[in-house]
Amino acid sequence: MEVIYGLIPGMLVLGLVAVGVLFWAARSGQFEDLDGDGQRILMDDDVDERDPRRFPDADD
């Protein structure tokens, strides 16, 4: 029974941290483009438009 006195405040703090992270993510734009990555993977890029940071071995 004594362990509940530590668990309840711990759960409240953990819940408040989770809510804070959710609000931070929403304000910083993490949920703006949910379909973008799914659509971007289907698009065919030309070989000349490769990003040299992602493909360092590609010759220009």
- pLDDT tens-digit profile of 2-49? 999 999 999 999 999 999 999 999 999 888 877 777 777 777 665 555
Considering its fold, how many domains does the chain have in total?
1
Q: What is the pLDDT of residue 55?
A: 63
Rg, the chain, Cα only: 22
55 domain-assigned: no
- Those residues whose C-beta lies under 8 Å from the C-beta of residue 20, and which sit 6 or more positions away, are none
17 domain-assigned: yes
46 domain-assigned: no
What's the whole-model pTM score? 0.55
- How far is it, in rounded angstroms, from Cα 6 to Cα 24? 27
Chain-centroid distance of CA 33 in Å reads 11
**Residue 16: which domain range?**
1-28
